[in-house]
């Protein structure tokens, strides 16, 4: 039983990254009805943007700000040069789907071309550990936990307390009614990409910190668990994405608990996450925060 508190803390740390990244995916889908397969590569871009800042000898605080700002700028720039024209031409669902996959490939290979295939790491001592009662927490995890708490609080305030957040939620619920009510559609679209990009940049840096070492495939490897968190929490629901991320993080870490038949190897944690998703959807197909559709 002594390992349980440690697994819970590790699960919350992993879940925080999934939750932050999943909110961005959920916002883009809920508002723009786009499954952005390039979101994982946005994470990778943010991780390397922050790494470039630390290579200049600047602090992790500055690296975080740059990672968030650079990835937000990337997302908005791609909206202006790619997704905006695609949307204006009323591209179908399949066309947008293929475009998103193509964008993911382009971004990933561009990152490979610039930084190479080798692993990189932030200049943080991965072996420095703080003991908090029965739990050991690394410096990287402490940084990730602190930034995650701030980010989740900001997300909550943004969506619930600001006019742009309320407009985003209104547009996601009913685009036609929101437009008739005077919501500026162009402003909402740009704000959606800005927020999604910023969250992806932050999640990428946090994942890089937690992993210790990362390469250009980091975001791609994390993409399917992020989508699983979105579906588990309820597709298009930002609060559901937060909840889904934390649930998956805890499930993945607790699956290695030795009490549960010796636990599973850590390399199979993502398999357990998808099994949990399948079981949840069999019981509650609308997701954790979704409403069951009424039969006609």
Q: How many domains does the chain have?
A: 1
Confidence of residue 195 (pLDDT cuts 50, 70, 90): very high
pLDDT at 295 over 70: no
C-alpha closest to that of 83 among 50, 111, 42, 22: 42
Confidence at residue 73, expressed as pLDDT on a 0 to 100 scale: 97
Average pLDDT over residues 6-17: 90
CATH of the domain at 123: 1.10.3470
Domain limits at 183? 4-283
**Residue 132 placed within a domain:** yes
The helix or strand, by DSSP H or E, that contains position 129, with its residue range, turns out to be strand 129-132
Cα-to-chain-centroid distance, residue 128:
26
**Residue 296 placed within a domain:** no
**Residue 294 placed within a domain:** no
Cα-to-chain-centroid distance, residue 32:
17
What are the residue ranges of helices labelled H in the chain? 4-32, 39-55, 60-78, 84-88, 93-115, 139-161, 163-173, 175-180, 185-211, 218-233, 238-254, 269-283
Condensed to tens digits (0 to 9), the pLDDT of residues 39-93 reads 999 999 999 999 999 999 898 889 999 999 999 999 999 999 999 999 888 888 8
Condensed to tens digits (0 to 9), the pLDDT of residues 145-155 reads 888 888 888 88
């Amino acid at each position: 039983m002594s390992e349980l508190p440690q697994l819970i803390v590790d699960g919350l740390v992993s879940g925080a990254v999934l939750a932050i990244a999943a909110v961005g995916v959920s916002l883009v889908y809920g508002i723009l009805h786009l499954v952005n397969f390039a979101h994982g590569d946005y994470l990778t871009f943010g991780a390397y943007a922050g790494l470039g800042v630390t290579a200049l000898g600047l602090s992790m605080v500055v690296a975080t700000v740059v990672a968030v700002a650079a990835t937000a700028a990337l997302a908005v720039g791609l909206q202006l040069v790619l997704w905006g024209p695609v949307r204006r031409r009323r591209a179908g669902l399949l066309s947008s789907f293929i475009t998103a996959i193509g964008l993911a490939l382009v971004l990933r290979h561009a990152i490979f071309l610039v930084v190479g295939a080798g692993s990189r790491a932030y200049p943080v001592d991965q072996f420095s550990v703080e003991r908090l009662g029965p739990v050991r927490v690394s410096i990287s995890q402490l940084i990730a936990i602190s930034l995650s708490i701030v980010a989740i609080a900001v997300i909550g305030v943004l969506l619930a307390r600001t006019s742009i957040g309320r407009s985003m939620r209104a547009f996601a619920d009913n685009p036609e009614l929101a437009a008739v009510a005077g919501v500026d559609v162009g402003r909402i679209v740009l704000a959606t990409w800005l927020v999604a990009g910023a969250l992806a940049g932050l999640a990428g840096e946090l994942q890089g910190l937690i992993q210790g070492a990362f390469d250009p495939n980091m975001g791609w490897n994390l993409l399917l668990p992020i989508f699983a968190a979105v579906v588990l929490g309820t597709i298009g629901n930002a609060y559901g994405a937060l909840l889904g991320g934390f649930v998956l993080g805890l499930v993945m870490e607790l699956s290695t608990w030795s009490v549960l038949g010796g636990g599973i190897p850590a390399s199979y944690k993502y398999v357990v996450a998808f099994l949990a998703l399948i079981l949840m959807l069999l019981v509650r197909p609308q997701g954790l925060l979704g409403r069951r559709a009424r039969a006609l």
